[in-house]
Chain A
Amino acid sequence: MVLEHPQDETRHHFTEILHEIQHGLVRMGSLVEENVLRAGSAMVEGRIGLVEMVRNADEPINEMYARLERQTFETLARQQPVAGDLRFLVATTRILYELERSGDLAVNCVKVLDRLHGLPEHPELNATLRQLVAATVKVFRMGIDAIADMTDDAGVVIEQADDEVDDLVSEYYTTIAQVSGDIGLDAGIGLSRIGRFLERIADHAVNIGENVQYIVTAEFPGDTHAALTDED
């Protein structure tokens, strides 16, 4: 199995580098997850003070992206990887992108929050948003776990879990439409953008899962090629 090697193997040094990169991805993913939670907290509990924190927390995420990418390219250049090692390193460059974009999306959410000076008080909206954030984080966590565990069906499993997010987003839009009269157009647009951002975070997690599945099985699940269907 990928990234698992016999005890007495002869490329210890190289294997260590690969593990390092893997741990780096997991750590970066955890930072992103933390920030999404933070953004969620800011939106749902109205804690505007967290906005600045979310913005600042994105910097180390970007630094890790640059560093891990550089490390990955250098490893590709120096170690002549093939087979599973090559798939891992190539997929890592894609996963890095998905993680970094997810981090940016969290920041986008609090930017909206900032511009609107807080979200409108509406219990039903709030409840749906809370559920949506929870579902998004859950799916994203599944993506990070997939990187750590290198499961062979991560793409399929996370795609299914994403359905829940998609359903919640639909529900959220419907609710926004219903109360748009009360909250005003500006807020309505802002809230639906937030919904969009959260949906895309979950989609990035699905892509991560599909890339992990590719690392392990050398195939992308189904006909949809993750890289081709990636938005934005």
Chain B
Amino acid sequence: MSESGDHVTTRATEQPAPADETSAEAVETHPPHSPVTPIFRVRDLNVFYADFHAVKDVNLIIAENEITALIGPSGCGKSTVLRCFNRMNDLIDIARVVGDVRYHGTDLYAEDVDPVEVRRRIGMVFQKPNPFPKSIYDNVAFGPKISGFKGNLDELVESSLTKAALFDEVKDKLGDSAYALSGGQQQRLCIARAIATSPDVLLMDEPCSALDPIATMRIEELMQNLKQDYTILIVTHNMQQAARVSDKTAFFNVEVDEGGQRTGHLVEFDETGKIFTNPAQPATEDYITGRFG
């Protein structure tokens, strides 16, 4: 006699773990409850800056069309890990990425993989809005142009700006300088710019930390809409934002060894609802309740 129309937003129903999760280690890396299409699979990721061991032994599976948040105290390596997903660490001379990062099954760090192509498919939005010193139109059009886009550029610019919830505000002034926009608008422009190359992943490195609360809310709302078409990874030092916005949360922490070297590592990775109501690790609970970090 139960009314079965109720839709539960958070807990997915119990399902057996995906077929390829055979090792115990794999179960630990991904919450076994929800059925997912994995888009990224990270195994034994370690990042070094010259001799400095910045991040160690990260194992993660990122699910498609979800928002995954990376949280943790300063120096825990979350931005470093994020930048591994689109090979932005290549731009740092002394950075060395060791391990397996697979995107749709392809190892991103294989010899024959072109980082430029990687970055067209895996877009990035940065902490401080950084539009090009060009017009709004040119900002969005640049990416597609250099990747050889042959179709209607005007339409592409419009649809990218629309998806970034910015078109209505700028449709009469596409030729204006991008710098004439407010901080929140500039960040949405950067999102539109990232979307224009038709990626399927958006990496966001603390996208709201330079914005006021209302602009932040608008972008969080935008992310909810975007996740239907994109997979989103967001690094945020604002754990309340992670709680509001993400489906899964990965908590990173810093480990200090005898030599004083600070290395980041993954402590816990689970559904956001679980992390914020009943985390498995005491360190996680301490961090999210503001007891340290």
Contacts and interface: CB of A to CB of B under 8 A. Distances in A.
Chains A, B in direct contact (C-beta < 8 Å): yes
B65 to A, nearest CB: 15
A24 interface: yes
Contacts of A74: 10, 273, 276-277
Interface in A63-94: 63-64, 67, 70-71, 73-74, 77-80
Contact of B217 (A10, A20, A53, A60): A10
A78 B217 CA distance: 14
Contact of A24 (B6, B214, B272): B6
A31 B1 CA distance: 10
Interface stretch (A11-19, A105-113, A118-126): A11-19
14 contacts: A10-B217, A12-B224, A14-B244, A27-B5, A27-B6, A31-B3, A60-B2, A60-B3, A70-B10, A71-B9, A71-B10, A78-B276, A79-B243, A79-B244
Contacts, number: 56
A41 to B, nearest CB: 15
B221 A13 contact: yes
Nearest to B213: A10
A79 B224 CA distance: 14
B218 interface: yes
A56 interface: yes
A218 B244 CA distance: 25
A59 B2 contact: yes
A114 B3 CA distance: 26
Interface of B: 1-3, 5-11, 214, 217-218, 220-221, 224, 240, 243-244, 272-273, 276-277
A57 interface: yes
Contacts of B11: 70
Given A11-B217, A63-B2, A80 B243 contact: yes
B273 A78 contact: yes
The B interface, classified by DSSP as helix, strand, loop or mixed, is helix
Given A27-B3, A60-B1, A63-B2, A77 B217 contact: no
Chain A: number of interface residues, binned into ranges = 20 to 34
A135 to B, nearest CB: 25
Nearest to B288: A77
A107 to B, nearest CB: 13
Contacts of B273: 74, 77-78
B40 to A, nearest CB: 24
Contacts of A59: 2
The residue among A67, A73, A78 with the most chain B CB atoms within 10 A of its own CB is: A78
Nearest to A24: B6
Contacts of B6: 24, 27, 64, 67
Given A74-B10, A77-B277, 20 more contacts: A10-B218, A12-B224, A13-B221, A13-B224, A14-B244, A24-B6, A27-B5, A56-B1, A57-B1, A59-B2, A60-B1, A60-B2, A60-B3, A70-B11, A71-B9, A71-B10, A73-B277, A77-B273, A78-B273, A80-B243
A67 B2 CA distance: 13
Contacts of B9: 17, 20, 71
A80 B10 contact: no
Given A79-B243, A80-B240, A80-B244, A12 B276 contact: no
A60 B4 CA distance: 9
A20 B243 contact: no
Contacts of B243: 77-80
B9 to A, nearest CB: 6
Given A20-B9, A64-B6, A12 B1 contact: no
B7 A20 contact: yes
A71 B11 CA distance: 9
A210 to B, nearest CB: 26
A31 to B, nearest CB: 6
B218 A53 contact: no
Contacts of A63: 2
Contacts of A73: 277
A205 B240 CA distance: 36
A195 B7 CA distance: 37
A151 B244 CA distance: 29
A67 B1 CA distance: 17
A9 B110 CA distance: 45
A53 B1 CA distance: 9
A27 B221 CA distance: 28
